[in-house]
Amino acid sequence: MKQLFIKQNHSQKLNLIFLGYGQDGAIFDSLKNQECGDIALVYDYENDDFDISLYREYSSINLIAWSMGVMIAPKVLNQYGILDKVVNSSAINGTSEGIDDNYGIPPKIWDATIDALCESAVLKFYRRMCFDPKLYEEYLKHRPQRNIESLKAELIYIREFAKKPNVKNFFYTNAFIGLKDKIIAPANQKKSFSKTATVCQEIECAHYNYELFSKQLL
């Protein structure tokens, strides 16, 4: 995993953002201009590398998780003993199960993505992620600098990570479900969060929506 601070003023409050598959920090760099606490990104889930010391100084964490980050974040923070620092949590177009026939992306689709991964398939993923042609064009200006080998390794790692049990007694404070999401079916997202006390809000947006991230910063 890669960890990147895009705003670090050593405040007591940290906005910790777990990104989705296939990303890097480029498209989110402008979040640093927001009036809020420090901001750190976690992305590129190819391995278990995670430096917990980067976050120990913070008294509270505002967790923002997107896509597969929704599934990954609680497990990682619980494993390293800082989940109790999370005072607010927002799930954006993702589920706690991540890869699941009923509550996420079906395993067969995930496996097929691994088998067929190539440059054109990656571009198709980003296009479906953005849905809107203008948004896709803007996204490509900040396209993640990731090669096919790295992306495939990440897909394989996430598939195995999803098999780990979810954290008991944790649920997201809020969930934002994009009704135009072509990556994780909105119906599956709704079913997943219906099992918890998470407050869900349905939004007319695609899988990727920059404004949803900026609005959750504290």
Query: In this predicted model, what pLDDT tens digit does every residue of 40-51 receive, in sequence order?
Result: 999 999 999 999
Strands (E), the chain: 2-7, 13-18, 38-43, 60-66, 86-92, 98-99, 104-105, 174-178, 199-203
The DSSP symbol for 84 reads G
Model pLDDT, residue 136: 98
Whole-model pTM: value is: 0.97
Report the sign of the C-alpha dihedral through residues 152, 156, 157, 158, in that order. Answer: positive
What domains can you pick out in the chain, each with its CATH number? 2-215 (3.40.50.1820)
| Percent of the chain at pLDDT exceeding 70 | 100
- Residue 22: per-residue pLDDT: 98
| 94: confidence class by pLDDT, cuts 50, 70, 90 | very high
Q: What is the pLDDT of residue 57?
A: 94
DSSP-derived 3-state class of residue 103: coil
Among 83, 120, 84, 107, which residue's Cα sits nearest to residue 162? Answer: 107
pLDDT at 2: 98
Residue type, 178: G
Joined together, the tokens standing for residue 189 give: 């997202």
